[in-house]
Structure 1
Amino acid sequence: MTTTIGRAFLGGTLLLAVVIGFSGCDQVGTEPKGLASGENIFQDDGSYKSYLGKLYAGLNVTGQSGPAGNADIEGIDEGFSQYVRLWWQMQELPTDEAVITFQDAGGAPQTLQKTNWGPTNGFLSAMYARISFQVMQVNEFLRESTSGKLDSRGVSQEVQDKMPRWRAEARFLRALSYWHGVDLFGGIPVVTQEQPRGGAPPSANTRQEVFAFVESELLAIADSEGEENLPPTGAAPYGRADRAAAHMVLANLYLNAPVYLDNPQQVIGEDPMNRAVEYAGRVIDSGAFSLETNYQDLFLADNHTASGVVFAVPNDGESTQHYGGTQFLTHAAVGGDMEPSNYGIDFGYNGLRTTPEGVNLYEEETSDDRRIFFTSGQSLEVDDLLDFQDGYAVPKYQNVTSGGQAGDNPTFPDTDYPMFRLAEAYLIYAEATVRGASNGDIGQAVSLVNDLRQRAGLGRDVASSDLQDLDQSGTPFLLQERGRELFWEARRRMDLIRFGRFTGSEYTWSWKGDDQAGASIPDYRALYPLPQSELQVNPNLEQNTGY
């Protein structure tokens, strides 16, 4: 498979031999060791597009050469440091949807799924470093691509004409990472291109201030009259951001605003649910996306053709080789009695499974086409976290095309990672409407949910009464439906938090609270701690409550 970004962008990233030291220089705003000056990097017109390619590649590859050996981040196994892999694990492992056998990085995966992590957890530090790395590289691109710098270097008019859009894309990628930061860590330093390289440690910012920065950046590049704008929805090459990608981040930002902010309506100026409906609605109404007939096609090796993917992290088995992302998600979900070649891969890692509670999301809907479990030789119960055959396997991401052909490389899949999908916009619209959005239509909300269920083979069986009660005893329908539709797509932690089911004892699952039967956890665990390494090098930071 060849993708636009895979060939046109990633091939030019090797000129950026930059490495960020894992301890001491990985905080937001501190420059990576060995970062070359702009004058050395931007020597010709092509270097600007190559640098933009590196910014996108920051979501995908792990270093300057694949699959490993010249890492962006030091101090952790290079495969563990891949952006999507870290984001996925931090959103899925502490929930009812995933367990893992791996004990790497000092047992970091185990402490995540047992919900007993601390500030020295290696995966938390690596995720913070990934966010920092993205922010720093975007800032450098923005510093070096001003009109004055382009003129002084004699950059062609063709590149200068494209630069406002490229700068908007860079700002989108920075905002995306800051959204991940505000969701995982809360208040982290907001650093922009206006601040000098290599200065004093950055000042701390509150969660509200980070939220406001992300919101303002996304509105500026997707909704303003300014010069730097993302292309209209549907007008960007595959794998690059258009306005729909920004609208999906905004819709998520507003849907979770009551979690992120103490007084969301005061901060935003109106009910955030109105904004969530507005931006989810823009994606839905754009006409650029449609639901696939077959749900599984969204997670196969030719999913770059899937009409319901709004923004993806592209993978190519030959040109984007690494041990994270869908490489991890395809291989780690295979083991036991499973035959790897059935999934287009050469071996399984015997790693990822789900819990009984994850299976029970579909308890009364065994005909649900989204129920992608391998059960032969697997037990339902997870008595031993380190035994792959304890828990059903979930081969959702596969290196096989919709036509049954294996991907080009059995070790490194062609399967892209769908970061945002149309179906999620449907569910955001429905939930925000039920949460009180004055611009939402309950009839449309019901219709959208039924569209998803009909595609899953369940028929149009949902009524407005099913959606309405978000605080019903047990698990609210919309939380369950999000779990079914977005299973293993790095949304479960934030969903459980938003519905008040992550901490406390309202809802427990296998190994929550380091208890096989499940136990209560304190409210402060709805936020991850700032890494201890960051506190040691930046005296301006203050640890999150409880840690």
Structure 2
Amino acid sequence: MKISFKYISYFFLFILGLNMTLTSCTSDLEVTPKDDDEFLSETFFEDPASYKQVLAKLYAGLYVGGNDGDGAADIAGIGGDFSSYLRLLFVTQEFTTDEAIVAWGDDGLPALNFQTWSTNNQFLYGLYSRAFFHISIANEFLRQTTEEKLNSRGVDSNLKAEIAIYRAEARFLRAFSYYNLMDLFGNVPITTENDPVGFFYPEQKTRAEVFAFIESELKDLDNSLAASKTNEYGRVDKTAAKFLLTKIYLNAKVYVGTAKNDEAVTACNDVINSAYTFADVPYRYLFSADNNTNGAQNEFIFPVINDGNAIRATGGGMSFILHASIGGSMDAAAQGMNGGWSGIRVRKEFVQLFPDETATGDARGTFYTNGQTLDIANVGAFSNGYAVTKYTNVKSDGSAAQRNDIPDTDFPMFRLSDAYLMYAEATLRGASNGNIATALGYINKIRARANATSLSTSDLTLDFILAERARELFWECHRRTDLIRFDKFTGSSKIWQWKGGIQNGTSTPSYRNLMPIPGTTIQANPTLKQNPGYN
């Protein structure tokens, strides 16, 4: 077991009636428990151990869909296997781009493959709901851990000090959810612990207002999060907040209409000069079953942890990514898994970003080509499109993981190599405090690990950075956001197979740079306004 809070118990009364919480847009709710396994929050927090259990629920929701792995789903109307945070981020950030395509015909997936989604897409509903569910839990935790509440329960000073750190982490995870909502959906409501519990319509805020809220929270958290790399592995610290600040600043032109490249470099320098260090190990180590101990963890600023024995998530998190990317003539056992679901491959245009298809000129090009075609004539056939072996449930020394049905491999949500790339990009975009020579050094460090050729300053262009981000960070839930920032997600400036629903690809309308607010949410809260372009 990698960290001490990975076993999740049934303890949330405020997840009861969740459909009301999300689709009616209340911030939280008061309900009566169904049985002895569910508790009123005030009663639950009488146990000193409860505070870390709530924090565990916030972290656990990143990879499982409910309190019992994929069972007892948190989100009404979508199964636990479909509704884990990581799976939903992967579906929206990868299937909509040139980095991935899925063979399955589940309602809503083909539309994501083709950039033809509508307001009733179940995966968009799932992610919107998942993010607000996390926000709801964070808000309730913050309400239950005020100084007044803790004093009334007789909480001692040592536990109070721990709870202060927990509160900061809950605020970070809330900011992370607001970041995803802002990035995907634009104008969304903001609720905090200061809002009432019960039914009300929270006010929809502009994207710029959401940006300002996230920025303010992340800056303030520098005073309360654990110092860099002093927290338990898998829990966030000050560097994670700086990293997320860098991300919002780098995308500020998209979010608020004003570039913030100087701010991006400043925040990025804080990340780069933190206690995290570049993992000087083979690239494949970063995505192996022991990536929490093999040296890769040195650059993992915000990992989503997985554990085959402790986490019962057969359809969520890394279990989804690994199972779904195995099919055809692939040997599932070689990937440390008990079988494949014949789903995810990459598109031709992504493969062409690499010097070859054999990982010779660049170790990151881990394509499986045996029995696979480069062109995708039939989206529903796994053999159409190259498969990928980037993630594996085998340890870096070749030994087996704990089990072969649910992987141990951690997902690197934030890692230091991305900070190097963000620094280079912000510098190329004109940051006055950036340095091209420094940026070049960072890029060549990344490429040396991949056994790719080193570059000179003249090679550093924005187009190169976009391609290098794909090579280094593919299938890590960045691509959609990156393409939008480079104005290549919609429109005709970048075309890939099946974009727009046509095999050779076609232009798509720019309004699809934002996802639609789910129709069921607007039906429940008539004060919400839909994003332009969607009915």
Same fold (TM over 0.5): yes
**Does residue 382 of structure 1 match 2:369?**
no
| Superposition deviation, residue 162 in structure 1 | 1.6
Please show how residues 331-350 of structure 1 align to structure 2 within 5 Å. Answer: 331-350=323-342
Map of 1:539 onto structure 2: 526
SS in 2 for 1:349: coil
Q: Hey, what does 2:289 align to over in structure 1?
A: 301
After TM superposition, list the pairs within 5 Å mapping 1:20-39 onto structure 2: 25-27=21-23, 29-31=26-28, 34=31, 36-39=39-42
Instruction: Specify whether residues 546 and 321 from structure 1 end up closer, same or farther in structure 2 by C-alpha distance, changes over 3 A only.
Output: same
Deviations along 1:175-209, one digit per CA (max 9) or x if unpaired, are 01110110000011010000011131111110001
What is residue 268 of structure 1 aligned with on the other side?
A: none
CA distance in 2, matches of 1:522, 1:286: 41
Q: What residue in structure 2 maps to residue 425 of structure 1?
A: 419
Q: Does structure 1 conserve the Cα–Cα contact (< 8 Å) formed by 2:309 and 2:403?
A: yes
Tell me the equivalent position of 1:330: 322
1:138 and 2:138 aligned: yes
Question: Which residue does the alignment assign to 2:162?
Answer: 162
CA separation in 1, counterparts of 2:407 and 2:8? 21
The CA distance in 1 between the partners of 2:270 and 2:486, in whole Å, is: 25
Structure 1 match to 2:5: 9
State the distance in 2 between where 1:339 and 1:378 align: 14
| 1:74 corresponds to | 76
User: Deviation at 1:312?
Assistant: 0.3
Q: Does 1:416 align with 2:410?
A: yes
TM superposition shift of 1:65 = 1.2
State the partner residue of 1:57. 60
Which residue does 1:319 correspond to in 2?
Answer: 310
1:260 and 2:255 correspond: yes
Aligned counterparts of 2:334 and 2:30: Cα–Cα separation in 1 = 43
Residue aligning to 2:36: none
- How many matched pairs? 521
Residues 369 and 386 in structure 2, CA contact (< 8 A), matched pair in contact too: yes
Alignment partner, residue 245 of structure 2: 250
Distance 2:300 2:139 in 1: 28
- Matches of 1:448 and 1:214, distance apart in 2: 28
Amino acid at match of 1:316: D
| Alpha-carbon distance, 1:318 to partner | 0.9
CA contact (8 A) 2:327 2:342 kept: yes
Give the aligned partner of residue 89 of structure 1: 91
Q: Distance in 2 between matches of 1:122 and 1:199?
A: 24
Q: Superposition RMSD on alpha carbons, in Å?
A: 1.6
For residues 323 and 8 of structure 2, the distance between their equivalents in structure 1, rounded to whole angstroms, comes to: 28
User: Which amino acid is the alignment partner of residue 97 of structure 1?
Assistant: E
CA contact (8 A) 1:13 1:51 kept: no
Deviation at 1:309, TM superposition (A): 1.3
Partner of 1:285: 273
Matched residues in 2 for 1:59 and 1:422: separation?
A: 20
Q: Give the secondary-structure state (helix, strand or coil) at the position aligned to 1:70.
A: strand
Distance 2:26 2:361 in 1: 50
Q: Contact 2:178 / 2:210 at 8 angstroms: preserved in 1?
A: yes
**Helix, strand or coil for the counterpart of 2:71?**
coil
Q: Does 1:361 align with 2:353?
A: yes
User: How far, CA to CA, are the matches of 2:60 and 2:71 in structure 1?
Assistant: 16
Aligned partner of 2:394 in structure 1 is: 400
C-alpha distance in 2, partners of 1:309/1:161?
25
Runs of 5+ unmatched residues, structure 1: 265-270, 471-475
Q: Which runs of 5+ in 2 are unaligned?
A: 34-38
2-side partners of 1:143 and 1:544: how far apart? 32
Q: Deviations over 1:491-543 (max 9, x none)?
A: 11111111111111111000001111100001100000000011001111100
CA distance in 2, matches of 1:151, 1:22: 30
Q: Deviations over 1:295-315 (max 9, x none)?
A: 111111001121221110111
- The structural deviation recorded for 1:29 is 3.9
Distance (Å, rounded) in 2 between the aligned partners of 1:529 and 1:241: 30
Equivalent residue of 1:3, what SS?
A: coil
CA distance in 2, matches of 1:21, 1:15: 14
Instruction: Report the residue type matching 2:344 in the other structure.
Output: L
Query: Structure 1 residue 292: deviation in Å?
Result: 3.0
| Distance in 2 of aligned mates of 1:234 and 1:17 | 33
Inter-partner Cα distance in structure 1 for 2:520 and 2:487: 31
Q: Specify the alignment match of 2:344 in structure 1.
A: 352
| Secondary structure at the counterpart of residue 14 of structure 1 | coil
Superposed, 1:132-281 pairs within 5 Å as 132-222=132-222, 224=223, 229-262=224-257, 264=258, 272-281=260-269
Work out the CA distance in 2 between the residues paired with 1:324 and 1:174.
21
3-state SS of the aligned residue for 1:310?
strand
> C-alpha separation between the residues in 2 aligned to 1:41 and 1:96?
46
CA shift at 1:22, angstroms? 6.9
SS in 2 for 1:80: coil
Which 10-residue stretch deviates more, 139-148 or 276-285?
Answer: 276-285
Q: What's the CA shift string for 1:125-183, capped at 9, x where partnerless?
A: 00001001100000000000000001111122221122221110110000011101100
For the residue of structure 1 that corresponds to 2:471, the secondary structure is helix
- 1:293 CA drift (Å): 2.1
Call closer, same or farther: CA 1:417–1:301 in 2, change over 3 Å.
same
What does residue 503 of structure 2 align with? 516
Task: Please give the secondary structure, in 2, of the residue aligned with 1:142.
Answer: helix
Provide the C-alpha distance between the structure 1 equivalents of 2:237 and 2:323, rounded to a whole number of angstroms. Answer: 31
Whether contact under 8 Å (1:204, 1:541) holds in the other structure is yes
Paired residue secondary structure (1:79): coil
TM-score (norm 2): 0.95
Deviation, 1:38, is 2.6
CA distance in 1, matches of 2:355, 2:499: 20
**What letter corresponds to residue 93 of structure 1 in structure 2?**
F
Q: Is the 8 A contact 1:14 1:64 kept in 2?
A: yes
Amino acid aligned to 2:493: E
Give yes or no for contact 2:63–2:86 (8 Å, CA) kept in 1.
yes
Residue 62 of structure 1: CA displacement? 1.3
Over 3 Å counting, the alpha-carbon distance change for 1:450 and 1:514 in structure 2 is same
C-alpha distance in 2, partners of 1:71/1:280?
A: 37
Decide whether the 8 Å contact of 2:90 with 2:477 is kept in 1: yes
Partner residue, 1:496: 483
Deviation at 1:363, TM superposition (A): 3.9
- What SS class does the counterpart of residue 387 from structure 2 fall into? coil
* Alignment-mate amino acid for residue 205 of structure 1: K
Deviates more, 1:509-518 or 1:271-280: 271-280
Q: 1:18 to 1:69 in 2, by over 3 A?
A: farther
Alignment partner of 1:64: what SS?
Answer: strand
State yes or no: 1:48 paired with 2:43.
no
**Residue matched to 1:464:** 457
TM-score when scaled to structure 1?
Answer: 0.93
CA distance in 2, matches of 1:350, 1:124: 23
SS in 1 for 2:59: helix
Report the Cα distance in structure 2 between the residues aligned to 1:466 and 1:402, rounded to whole angstroms. 33
